[in-house]
Amino acid sequence: MNSVQYEELCRRFLASRLGIAVGEIGSPRMPNPKREGLSEYAHQIDLYWVSNDPIADYINIANAKWRSSDTDKVDQPDVLLLSKIREKVAAHKAVMITSTSFTSGARAAAEDEGIGLYIVQPRFDIGILPANDRAEIQARLQELGTEETASLLYSEVVHRAFDWSESQTRPRRPASGGYSNRVATPTSNRAVSSPANRAIAPGGNRIIGPGGSATTKG
């Protein structure tokens, strides 16, 4: 299976889970916010869809990563990059999908960044799929059945996506490894009286003390 075939399999998986048409999940090139004097560039989004409720619309993106080897897991930098892209294109939620698994570092980053992690694996002879024609790939997948058909694919939720902007605080985990978070006791900054630190006020007959009080020079 190549990356195009895997993206289309994931598109069908998402459409079935979300209860929307496959055509409602796009793969756009989204421009990076323009800054004056800097070069323009865009982000290629594997999978993009809009969800909504009675109050607002929400932008969602997903990255589909096909891995041919079981030992080739999605790692922490992949998750952090997706988080940055979510920020750049102003998406509310982001999901990472792979055919293998995720390293412990990837899982930790996903928890911290609110990135969803899913495993999606084909359960059919991938050799029957066209190589690069997306429309033909979708047509063949349609013939094979729906996402609920066990013979089509296997899926697993590793971590659900979360929009941290929906909450004012993130859940805190206890410190590990014997370290403790200590809050320093507030202290006051006191000025030490010293003749060398006194300033003579204009006029030469008044001295300003460390506390801001004035005395008359006699």
Summarised one tens digit per residue, pLDDT across range 79-106 is: 999 999 999 999 999 999 999 999 999 9
Q: Please, is 211 exposed, middle or buried when counting C-beta atoms within 10 Å of its C-beta (0-12, 13-18, 19+)?
A: exposed
Examine the pLDDT at 189 and tell me if it is beyond 60: no
The CATH number of whichever domain residue 141 belongs to comes to 3.40.1350.10
pTM listed for this prediction: 0.73
Residues 6+ apart with CB under 8 A from 129: 1, 5, 137, 140, 141
Dist. CA 119–CA 181, nearest whole Å = 36
Query: Which of residues 137 and 188 earns the better pLDDT score?
Result: 137
Q: Determine, yes or no, domain membership for 206.
A: no
Examine the pLDDT at 168 and tell me if it is beyond 80: no
Q: Are 42 and 32 in contact (CB under 8 A)?
A: yes
Domain housing 109 = 3-166
Domains in the chain, number = 1
pLDDT per residue as tens digits for the range 21-69: 999 999 999 999 888 899 999 999 999 999 998 999 999 999 999 998 9
Q: Determine, yes or no, domain membership for 102.
A: yes
Give residue 194's pLDDT: 44
Nearest to 74 by CA among 179, 136, 163, 158: 158
Mean pLDDT, to the nearest integer, of 163-186?
46
Q: Determine, yes or no, domain membership for 208.
A: no
